[in-house]
Amino acid sequence: MNIKAIQEITAYSRGRINIIGEHTDYNDGFVLPAAIDKKTVVTIRRNGDDSICNITAENKSESHQFDLKNYSRIKSGWQNYVMGVVHELEKIGGKLKGFDASFSGDVPIGSGMSSSAALECSFAYALNELFELGFDKMQMIKASQMAEHNFVGIKCGIMDQFASMMGRKDKVMLLDCRSLEYQYFPLELGEHQLLLLNTNVSHSLADSAYNERRAQCQEGLQILKKQSSDVKSLRDVTKEMLEEVKSSMNPIVYNRCKHVVGENQRVLAATAAMRYGQLEELGKLIYASHHSLQHDYEVSCKELDFLVEETKDKAFILGSRMMGAGFGGCTINLIDKQFVSGFIAEITEKYFEKYKIELTPFEVSIEDGAGFLSV
């Protein structure tokens, strides 16, 4: 029986938060993310052509055309994320034809909520269904990650794409970025909630610094491997092992490794604290994460540090830290629900007075990952 091919589809994928665990994913470590109620939505239709593809970014009022028979990355731009996904799906056997697509979204760009993963995963999800490629979610997640590696030029870990695609409503996931084993558990914060504060700054050095940090971690790893054959990644390193080789490491490389090793331990401790309702302990770990990101990994910025510092004398805030790759974006705050509106008003005024920049607060909800709006 011949079933008529799908002609048009609308799909979406999510932005994400990360409770704790920054820059651990590309070091085979642990993370604690969740998908949120911000998403990228893409509508894709077959256009009858063998190879011509037309993409419109509605938020930017920009369009791009490319030919499946001959295309390559451009200098920079959202186009690389889309073409990168197409390229990676084709590399693993996907047979595509010409299509027209338009997308829009409400994941703030440069916020640390991973608008890039939402874009990549929404296209992968839609193309897989439209052209009946038959890939499973894990294949689409990896294709989206590799799109960022090979077409965008950022050697990201897998957390963002994984959370965007695999999120579950009202749950966070503990993800092992080596084995890709994961488990969900309820986000139960009692009288507290999560509040994001977007600095609305995105410093230009973020992308190059990201790849530089990754290279520094690899440099440290090579030294550690000489000490122990059991070390395959920084995930395998304890604080004691790191101290043993400190004298043979560049101090900056040592600090980068120190962050990753400590952050992995903080993720596992935070998971235990959440499971047992120990929110004050969770808050301490969140603060410790920011301190390490600020001083050891050096991916914070003055605006993020200001927002975190302003919470430390407030008993109704249990923890605050920068979230995402760094150099801008959001802080994530664990705050007593009844103080949210007053705190937003106060911190917004102080932030504008200090930097002459409007602060954007987000009270996000935790939602399911990628899905379809129409098929």
Q: How many other C-beta atoms can be found within 10 angstroms of the C-beta atom of residue 204? A: 9
Q: Which stretch of DSSP H or E encloses residue 354?
A: helix 340-355
Q: What is the DSSP string of 123-183?
A: HHHHHHHHTT----HHHHHHHHHHHIIIII-----SHHHHHHHH--TTEEEEEETTT--EE
Handedness of CA 68, 72, 74, 76 (dihedral sign): positive
Smallest Cα–Cα separation from 157: which of 351, 343, 339, 324? Answer: 324
Q: How many other C-beta atoms can be found within 10 angstroms of the C-beta atom of residue 3? A: 6
C-alpha span between 231 and 62 (Å, rounded): 47
Smallest Cα–Cα separation from 177: which of 161, 201, 193? Answer: 161
Smallest Cα–Cα separation from 361: which of 194, 164, 167, 170? Answer: 194
Residue 161 in contact with residue 121, Cβ under 8 Å? yes
- Give the N- to C-terminal CA distance of the chain in Å, as an integer: 20
Single out the catalytic residue among 160, 236, 296, 336.
160
Answer yes or no: 230 catalytic. no
Long-range contacts of 73-81 (CB under 8 A, 24+ apart): 73/151, 73/152, 73/153, 78/119, 79/55, 80/151, 80/152, 81/116, 81/119, 81/120, 81/123, 81/147, 81/148, 81/151, 81/152
Tokens matching residue 342: 């007053």
Residue 188 in contact with residue 274, Cβ under 8 Å? yes
| 3-class SS of residue 191 | coil
Catalytic positions, written as ranges = 160
